[in-house]
Amino acid sequence: MPTVTITVNGNTVSRAVEGRTLLVHFLREQLGLTGTHVGCDTSQCGACVVLVDGRSIKSCTMLAAQADGREVTTIEGLAAADGTLHPMQAAFRQHHGLQYGFCTPGMVMSAVELARTTPHLTEQAVRDGLEGNICRCTGYHNIVKAILAGAEAMQVEPVAQAAE
Amino acid sequence: MYDFDYLRPTTVADAVALLAQRSEAKFLAGGQTLLPTLKQRLAQPEAVIDLSRIAALQGIREDGDALVIGAMTLHADVAASALVLRVIPALAALAGEIGDRQVRNRGTLGGSISNNDPAADYPGAVLGLGATIETDRRSIAADDFFTGMFETALDPGEIVTSVRFPVPQRAAYRKFPNPASRYATAGVFVARTVDGVRVAVTGAGATVFRVPAIEDALAADFSPAALTGITVDDDGLNSDIHASAAYRAHLIMVLARRAVAAIS
């Protein structure tokens, strides 16, 4: 079995995996990071979205072996060590951007990439950017509101940190 | 998914050699089609050969009057490339409409055209622009490359290394996406080039195809009005739960007019 070395949420881990092991199963079953969900398992719903080298991808449609040497960020890697929520997580809470929440980790991870890569997010850009994330509660209205607010907070935050 | 040996060569020559050593092996590009296929146990390769760490398959460059895009270049990188946006903006726009963000962050040009899904977007641009497909052993004209549903002119074990897109004067792509999958129910790529007008249709037939009647009409008069009265025969077009063949034939003309309007 190939051995993979992947930096997950800042921690570098090495594990033997089968060739067929999907990244999502590596994260959930080998590392116990169950915040990344398996929804449809057909690369449509986006509940399994994580960041690989900063890009959002569906971890049910990537082999763990393909992530060898890469940096992976999951929902568990967003909050600060003291538990302070990432601005996008805080915005989802404030704007009630979830109903039963199964899609939420994937939504938040997609939103983080969207906010980082799109300078002036509009509502339409958020809706287009969420094409790969499905909310079965159809609670998109508050999700979009949360992402717009979270993106704004992410723009502000680096300035605030620099001022400290 | 059945288990397989995962192999990761760093040169094209090694990839070709590894495939030749195995009775049943598959090249893995972005995996956005192959991995779902394996998960459904529709294929059982003995080995999967990951092409993602081969540097020679990466990158976008201008070469004379052409844009050369490495086979393993991600859709997202083509969509965001300042060079592609400047030289062939229609190609960047097309790449930015493939699937969803996460698919565009994994899917590759070479993987898409080698798979030749009848509803894929890239074959429209490759045929519409009259591109040349470079492989590890030869050059193949787009007109000869797409041979049938999920079929290409590639030999077993042959790897697409890059695609050379001649720079058109103007080009545009319009598609009617399936609202769930974003695949093209029908998509029309129209290009004005120094050699004439090329029109390629994807999503509507077994494989991408050109429409000489539309090309001839646009060569005489490049305007949406020039397409009035032209119809596409629906015989042989795809018919499924999403759209009938007659509806797709209608869509082709609507999308062709939209594409022409966008550039005339």
- Res A156: pLDDT: 77
**Is residue B36 within a helix (H) or strand (E), and if so which, with residue range?**
helix B34-39
Same domain, A101 and A154: yes
Q: Is residue A164 part of a domain?
A: no
- Single residue among A24, A47, A77 that ends a domain in this structure: A77
Residue A24 is part of which domain span?
A: 3-77
- Single residue among A16, A49, A77 that ends a domain in this structure: A77
Same domain, A15 and A58: yes
Instruction: Report the C-alpha gap between A56 and A46 in whole angstroms.
Output: 10
Q: Is residue A82 part of a domain?
A: no
- Single residue among A59, A77, A95 that ends a domain in this structure: A77
Q: What residues in chain A have their Cβ under 8 A from chain B's Cβ atoms?
A: 2, 18-20, 22, 41-44, 46, 49, 55-58, 61-63, 65-66, 68, 110, 113-114, 129, 131-132
The values of phi and psi at residue A86, to 5°, are -60, 150
Domain B58-263 architecture = 2-Layer Sandwich (3.30)
User: Chain A interface, mutation test: which of B7, B53, B100, most A Cβ atoms within 10 Å?
Assistant: B100
Count: domains in chain A: 2
**How far B242 CA sits from the closest chain A CA (Å)?**
18
Same domain, A135 and A104: yes
CATH number for the domain running over B5-50: 3.30.43.10
Q: Do domains B5-50 and B58-263 have the same CATH topology?
A: no
Name the closest residue on chain B to residue A19, using Cα atoms: B6
Average pLDDT taken over every residue of chain B: 97
Determine how many CB atoms are found less than 10 A away from the CB of residue B76. Answer: 21
Q: Is residue A114 part of a domain?
A: yes
pLDDT tens digit sequence for A100-145: 999 999 999 999 999 999 989 999 999 999 999 999 999 999 999 9
Q: Is residue A153 part of a domain?
A: yes
- A161 pLDDT more than 70: no
Query: Which pair of tokens denotes residue A135?
Result: 């909310």
3-state helix, strand, coil in chain A (%, to 5): 45, 15, 40
A45: domain CATH number? 3.10.20.30
A115: domain CATH number? 1.10.150.120
Q: Is residue A35 part of a domain?
A: yes
**Domain range summary for chain B, segments of one domain joined by +:** 5-50, 58-263
Which is nearest to A53 in space by CA: B97, B105, B73? B105
Query: Which pair of tokens denotes residue B243?
Result: 């759209």
pLDDT tens digit sequence for B195-233: 999 999 999 999 999 999 999 999 999 999 999 999 999
Instruction: Report the C-alpha gap between B125 and B101 in whole angstroms.
Output: 20
Instruction: Report the C-alpha gap between B93 and B36 in whole angstroms.
Output: 26
Q: For residue A11, give every residue at least 6 positions away whose Cβ sits within 8 Å of its Cβ, in sequence order, or none.
A: none
User: Chain B interface, mutation test: which of A15, A20, A24, A48, most B Cβ atoms within 10 Å?
Assistant: A20
